Structure 1
Amino acid sequence: MKNELDSRFLLSVFEKVRQNGDKDGEAHILEGVKAYTDFDGYTLFIEDALVKLSFGFHNQYHFDYESASHYEAFEKKLKNIVNQY
């Protein structure tokens, strides 16, 4: 399965979680999705309990998950955040 999410979409999700989510240390959590950056702010991380996404320099991203259903549920959460907030 090829994961293709638009960089603008990912940045939108990140901002919506940061603006509307509950602060948890350096991260923010909204609808079960956690968003935070590395120490210098160049890499963004968006994750839930089953999927981790790192998004960095030159719009490169990497997903870490065990099954396609986990990814599909994660993508649905991200779309829901963009549409709701």
Structure 2
Amino acid sequence: MKNELDPNKVLKAYDTIMSNGTATELGKIYEGVEAYSDYDGYNVYMRGNGVELSIGFHNTYHLEYDQEHLRDSFLRKVAMLAK
């Protein structure tokens, strides 16, 4: 996968979820994507449909997934939430 993930867009999607989402045990869920952060807010997490994305300090990120089509679908949804 090319390094094309824009952390600023991910954070914008995170804000959309936190503003419009329904409360969950960890954070909020909106449009099938759950978002939450750690206690100090330095790391944010988004997950859905078998994919988990974490954004850390200095805009580093890590994507966990089993299948590429699930990753691609998840990233399209995150991009849509960032608009």
TM exceeding 0.5: yes
Q: In structure 1, what is the Cα distance between the partners aligned to 2:49 and 2:79?
A: 17
Q: In structure 1, what is the Cα distance between the partners aligned to 2:29 and 2:49?
A: 12
The letter of the residue matching 1:55 is: I
Who is 1:47 aligned against? 47
RCO higher in 1 or 2 (8 Å CA, sep ≥ 6)?
Answer: 2
The letter of the residue matching 2:53 is: L
- Structure 1 residue 37: deviation in Å? 0.3
Who is 1:22 aligned against? 22
Paired positions, count? 83
Q: In structure 1, what is the Cα distance between the partners aligned to 2:3 and 2:35?
A: 19
Q: In structure 1, what is the Cα distance between the partners aligned to 2:47 and 2:69?
A: 15
- Structure 1 residue 80: deviation in Å? 2.1
TM-score (ref. length: structure 2) = 0.91
The letter of the residue matching 2:36 is: Y
Q: In structure 2, what is the Cα distance between the partners aligned to 1:82 and 1:18?
A: 12
Q: Which runs of 4+ in 1 moved over 6 A?
A: none
User: Is contact 2:10-2:82 (8 Å) kept?
Assistant: no
TM-score (ref. length: structure 1) = 0.89
- Structure 1 residue 34: deviation in Å? 0.4
- The alignment yields a C-alpha RMSD, in angstroms, of 1.2
Who is 1:2 aligned against? 2
Percent pairwise identity: 37
